[in-house]
Chains A and B, each alone.
Chain A
Amino acid sequence: MSYFAGIKELPPDPLFGLKARFVADPRSDKVDLGIGAYRDNSGKPWILPAVRLAEAQLVKSPTYNHEYLSISGFEPFLNTASKVILGENSKALKEKRVVSQQSLSGTGALHVAGVFLKEFYTGEKTIYLSKPTWANHQQIFNTIGFKVDSYPYWNNDTKSLDLNGFLSTIKSAPSGSIFLLHACAHNPTGLDPTQEQWKQILKELDAKKHLVLFDSAYQGFASGDLDKDAFSIRYAIDENVLSTPVIICQSFAKNCGMYGERVGAIHVIPSPEANEPLNRAVKSQLNKIIRSEISNPPAYGSKIVSTILNDRALRQQWEADLVTMSSRIIKMRHKLQDLLVELGTPGTWDHIVNQTGMFSFTGLTPEMVARLEKTHGVYLVSSGRASVAGLNDGNVEKVAKAFDEVVRFYSKPKL
């Protein structure tokens, strides 16, 4: 008898496959625009100075240890992380309407949100994701047993938001469906609604009593300003726009450069008014989910983030680090656009600078992307999503020329 006879080998994760091809490529001037992690101007991974300082401080501290955290996580972390996303003066926090649970970064938060909703949400078990969205979103909710649908988001012709399509799906979806919104720096398009558009979107969501799940993976990374990047969430909650429960999935992977430390949280706002017994019930159920999956969340990353957030000087350093990262990326967007305009590359390239966050949805076709990799050693995922963090002063010209070449190669003359 064979134990697991039916098991098939699956193809590798596309991003993982891309990375493997990149590593194997012998060309010395190859460029990696695949990975969603920040690189400095010399193309190297970067540990934020605020993180370095916090680590040195933490490890030396006489109270430092490796004890288990509680099932909910590290309280000093949760208390300040919720303020980062909801605001120092958040009314919801003051009214004690927020239930927070530490998670294994963004994925862990989304997964716990999904498991929780699966068990306790009796509205429509259909979740609407933006089209396109982060590849893992679909799997996270499919695995838990949700029906996954999508709302129009990116208009490829205009390379801008398909607001009408978005709004009409909100209206036509069965009342009480779940809508996942990217709080800022939409992945993969880098295109966010304007503040006026957000107001319209949230108003329509409430009109249909949809449940809103915010995915906040890039706060502070988009504009360099934590408050500005939290606009959609704070507007929805502070202005009581949503009369339904709200769930926020928060990650410190990108904005603290703590990718592998898995630091994040899920914040649930169960009702628009204070309701202590309901909050306790929600918290106890989140605990129960965590207990049987991981017992308790990992300590180190949450202690580092908490050290930064609870120390004035470190907090300032972190906010400066956010500006360092976001401004370098913005600079690279402009440089790439300028170079493409200079080269007279067919098409318009304004979207590269209008987009925000780690990525640019370039509009390059899969065949152009394939040629970029083969002919030029420039690696990006087939959707045409480029990680702008992979650009630097040393490679941006090469990348612009490569873009120019592949676009011209596939632009058929109309003769």
Chain B
Amino acid sequence: MYRTYVVKHAQKSARVPVRAFSSLNNQLKAWSEIPLAPPDKILGISEAYVADANTNKINLGVGAYRDNTGKPIIFPSVKKAEQVLLELEKEKEYTGITGSKKFQNAVKNFVFNNSNKDPNGKQLIDSGRIVTAQTISGTGSLRVIGDFLNRFYTNKKILVPKPTWANHVAVFKDAGLTPEFYAYYETSKNDLDFENLKKSLTSQDDGSIVLLHACCHNPTGMDLTVEQWDEVLQIIQDKGFFPLIDMAYQGFASGNPYKDINLIRRINELVAQDKIKSYALCQSFAKNMGLYGERTGSISIITESADASKAIESQLKKLIRPIYSSPPIHGSKIVEIIFDEQYNLLESWLSDLDKVVGRLNTVRSKLYENLDKTNYNWDHLLKQRGMFVYTGLSSEQVIELREKYSVYATEDGRFSISGINDNNVKYLADAINAVVNK
């Protein structure tokens, strides 16, 4: 009885020790004081969506691709790779603590060598200055680098854009770092706030860690231009920041993954010139191969020397071994097959990805066309890139959309546009118009 009482109350406040009720031993008492953790916001929206009986309901919460009929897809190239795997797989042994060499090399070649388009990256690979480890997709790579930096980097402060992906802050905090925001976006203008971005970075402590979204900034969809990146990279050099790049949406800006890594190429150039000594990159195949649930991604650390690489790799292994021993193989084997020339799947993957991004861009324009622009400027929609539109709608408006129109999105006004298709775009635009023009 007493435990029910305690937990009910714990939901409202923090931990509530109620000694008077504990007639058993210390240990049971301790367990009765476990508070309910707040539910994940995005998950809560999906659950409410599922429970809604309105046949016009639209789910704009989840960050996974849907086709024009609203269904999840498996990339045809991934399907073929899976068929190859089904026929040829001989074992399901443990892969290495940091994944297989084949996977690591595929990632290095894809991202840093840019498939022979980045001589600086190639030089870094050849001189042994890149350590790559397979991780539990993007979150896992962020957590591993967070733990690593907490262990070995002197500065614990990590600067993240405001706004950023909700989980960034939780991941870094739990890794023992101290996240702090830098200015990124001006909500009243629905635009990047570049002047304040620079100012807020410049005012920070030298040597801080700075998190950069490589492309398709989540949630705003608003990226820096080449020139703006150069200015930021100059601040990074001046302040001796450690750059940590999160690249979850490679390919979703242009439709071509090789074109979306301007930032990586530029930073490799600076490393080649010895202007930046070291940085880290978190990368995932969740979105650009549609391997979401298979948890396939990587962390790469660009080091100062081949010797430093060896030491860092051994420490990464030491860090990962007691957390999960080794990463899951299904997704990484699919990636290996797609990048393995003998199966000829690279081109078809690139074309699959281009189609996915093409549909998102079509939907984005269609939504724009259908929106009423007389009282509200929607031009920012066309500047944004990736899986989301950052509408600028207030949380009250988002809630009204949900309650009156069964349109489900997070309260920051981020819409996952893959939930939009030819059949519901008009309904959605009408609902938004009604809410905005109220």
Contacts and interface: CB of A to CB of B under 8 A. Distances in A.
A293 B140 contact: yes
B174 A67 contact: no
A209 B28 CA distance: 10
A10 interface: yes
Interface size class on chain A is: 35 or more
Interface in B316-354: 317-318, 321-331
Contact of A259 (B78, B92, B292, B323): B92
Mostly helix, strand, loop or mixed at chain B's interface? helix
Contact of B328 (A66, A68, A143, A260): A260
A399 to B, nearest CB: 22
Given A70-B43, A262-B328, A294-B140, A282 B311 contact: no
Nearest to B242: A3
Interface stretch (A77-85, A104-112, A347-355, A376-384): A104-112
A64 B74 contact: yes
Interface in B58-112: 62, 64, 72-74, 78, 82-83, 86, 89-97
Interface stretch (A119-127, A160-168, A332-340, A402-410): A119-127
A9 interface: yes
Interface residues of B, number: 87
A35 to B, nearest CB: 8
A147 interface: no
A298 interface: yes
B174 A292 contact: yes
Nearest to A51: B92
Contact of B324 (A105, A291, A296): A105
Interface stretch (A226-234, A270-278, A366-374): A270-278
Contacts of A196: none
A314 interface: no
Most chain A CB atoms below 10 A, which of B89, B153, B174: B174
Interface string A112-154: 0000000011110000000000001001101100000000000
B292 A7 contact: no
Contacts of B143: 292-294
A257 interface: yes
Given A262-B325, A277-B7, A298-B330, 17 more contacts: A8-B311, A10-B317, A56-B86, A65-B74, A66-B290, A67-B64, A67-B292, A68-B292, A70-B43, A104-B323, A104-B324, A107-B322, A111-B322, A277-B4, A293-B171, A295-B295, A296-B295
Interface of A: 1-4, 6-13, 16, 37, 44-47, 51, 55-56, 59, 64-71, 104-108, 111, 120-123, 136, 139-140, 142-143, 175-176, 209, 211, 243-245, 257-262, 270-271, 275-278, 280-282, 284-285, 287-288, 291-301
21 contacts: A8-B311, A9-B310, A13-B317, A66-B293, A66-B294, A123-B27, A136-B322, A243-B28, A245-B31, A260-B92, A261-B92, A271-B31, A277-B4, A278-B32, A281-B37, A294-B136, A295-B138, A298-B295, A298-B328, A298-B330, A301-B330
